[in-house]
Structure 1
């Protein structure tokens, strides 16, 4: 039973399981009969019900016969020129009216999102380098446009993103190299690269750093694996190596490891710029070619959250468009 309810909310799943509804039995019931019942209930006449439903009297009479068979009750009895409901029909009427109203509401067009009045909660997946650079811009925009909306940032990278979407843990994600899936959409929204971050005075470096000085300094590695990064890959191509003194897994922890220390780190340029603004450390261009990469916004095809995506894309454009180095 559980497998057949994939994608249904937990509360509805619980209702199905508690009531042990036989879906095969329900599938054989024509829900149009509920509409016919309500028309007869309101009109108390086969002819008037037929006119209201734009059906022939014979069609409504046939539907009434099927209703009687399903309910095992006459439901409506002709008396003095009117169709009078039986006690069984009276007991059914409210439930059927409520059920039809719920079905109509479920298929009705959703009200347009109003950021000024919304109290929605949105969750955005991104790694902490993007949280540092883009998160504050997103939150500032949302605070201005939708003061009662809550934003949650969940640590997500391209390896964890798909599972987060499958579990409905995130509404959209900012990632590099998103997986291609038929149920996911993505849009390339920006380019980023790499920059060095260091305490320039302690390291004796000014506006630029030579490759010799770069390799002489102990390095701080920030990596998901904690072992190697793109710098090591590029250095191998030119027959060089660096000495990694410390390895971290979170960008936010970088400043205390560099302030007052003879050490350097090479990290995404958007994160380096954000950390430099807050810490007094200096951003410099790396003395080796590391290239650039594309930043993408990802979301589920079955989610209509254009307002949120517009906010995130605009924030990425603002945060990553200008990253002064030096």
Structure 2
């Protein structure tokens, strides 16, 4: 946090600090005015205002030119680090070298995103940025913006809805749904039929603990329903329960394929059309020009697109979709 009293600055035109530094450097009102592209009358008027604010002459005329007073020299000593730091902060393009950086980035995603994406990110970090650390944290559509605004997250991957304020988004891909089950316990033909899908009990991931979700809304529109036996807040719980439970779970297709392959579970398209969900990278605009954050966004974007559904899993080009900041 910056510990200043903003009201103190109302008393001072900060441009007068430039007048002060120019006079220190030139020791001449005429040369200082030329340095600042001011007329000499304007320069003299600014010096008068500066003297009134400081309560000191600051510069006195001598045979050698305008000499600073003791108060001016002491003031210059105190201002030097502040003004040089301000100049660096505002006008220096801060470089970022991933190979030597030791920054820690907080990245939010669903738990199933951690399962599918974390290995790719860690592999990329090992190759490009061995000292950078990632703090993966849970996030969902309901709390993503609040966490980004609070600064507890720097980047999120989520199915974000409409945003307000200084929030930037960049589309990744549209994620379709699939269902997953243990073929030893649920013995059905692939792709699963609607009759078989509705005949078995279901597991549901619900961040709020509800027993209905996105899939159920689609079923209701068709006059149908399924029996949900258990809900959990974590996608990663589902495959382990399914290995001992004669039932079905519906989840994003990318996650279903990854988990099914790893744990010997069967994956099938849903037997009815469910609109795909659009995933986005989301961040606060305060990070928009941060070189390190730009590098992170590019790394995560490329890693996500390599995990995209097959029909979209093309070679990632340099021409990414543009980000949008509200």
Secondary structure of 2:185's partner?
A: helix
Separation in 1, partners of 2:274, 2:17: 67
Q: Residues 193 and 290 of structure 1 are in contact (CA less than 8 Å); yes or no, is this contact kept in structure 2?
A: yes
Gaps of 5+ in 1: 1-9
Q: Which residue of 286, 289, 307 maps to 2:295?
A: 307
Q: Residues 123 and 153 of structure 1 are in contact (CA less than 8 Å); yes or no, is this contact kept in structure 2?
A: yes
Separation in 1, partners of 2:54, 2:117: 60
Q: Residues 178 and 186 of structure 1 are in contact (CA less than 8 Å); yes or no, is this contact kept in structure 2?
A: no
Q: Residues 115 and 145 of structure 1 are in contact (CA less than 8 Å); yes or no, is this contact kept in structure 2?
A: yes
Q: Are 2:238 and 1:254 aligned? A: yes
Separation in 1, partners of 2:244, 2:56: 88
Match for residue 316 of structure 1?
304
Mark the CA change 1:47 to 1:222 in structure 2 (over 3 Å): closer, same or farther.
closer
Q: Are 2:66 and 1:78 aligned? A: no
Separation in 1, partners of 2:221, 2:62: 96
1:177 Cα offset (Å): 4.2
Separation in 2, partners of 1:114, 1:73: 47
Match for residue 273 of structure 2?
289
Mark the CA change 1:173 to 1:82 in structure 2 (over 3 Å): closer, same or farther.
same
Separation in 2, partners of 1:209, 1:54: 78
Mark the CA change 1:287 to 1:91 in structure 2 (over 3 Å): closer, same or farther.
same
Separation in 2, partners of 1:103, 1:253: 50
Separation in 1, partners of 2:252, 2:34: 70
Q: Are 2:281 and 1:268 aligned? A: no
Secondary structure of 2:57's partner?
A: coil
Match for residue 4 of structure 1?
none
Match for residue 188 of structure 1?
171
Match for residue 18 of structure 2?
35
Separation in 2, partners of 1:57, 1:237: 78
Aligned residues: 306
Q: Residues 149 and 284 of structure 2 are in contact (CA less than 8 Å); yes or no, is this contact kept in structure 1?
A: no
Match for residue 91 of structure 1?
74
1:58 Cα offset (Å): 4.1
Separation in 2, partners of 1:38, 1:303: 32
Q: Residues 168 and 283 of structure 2 are in contact (CA less than 8 Å); yes or no, is this contact kept in structure 1?
A: yes
Q: Which has the larger radius of gyration?
A: 1
TM-score (norm 1): 0.83
TM-score (norm 2): 0.83
- Cα deviation per residue 1:195-221 (whole Å; 9 max; x = unaligned)? 111110232245433333323322222
Mark the CA change 1:68 to 1:280 in structure 2 (over 3 Å): closer, same or farther.
same
Q: Are 2:93 and 1:110 aligned? A: yes
Separation in 2, partners of 1:65, 1:241: 81
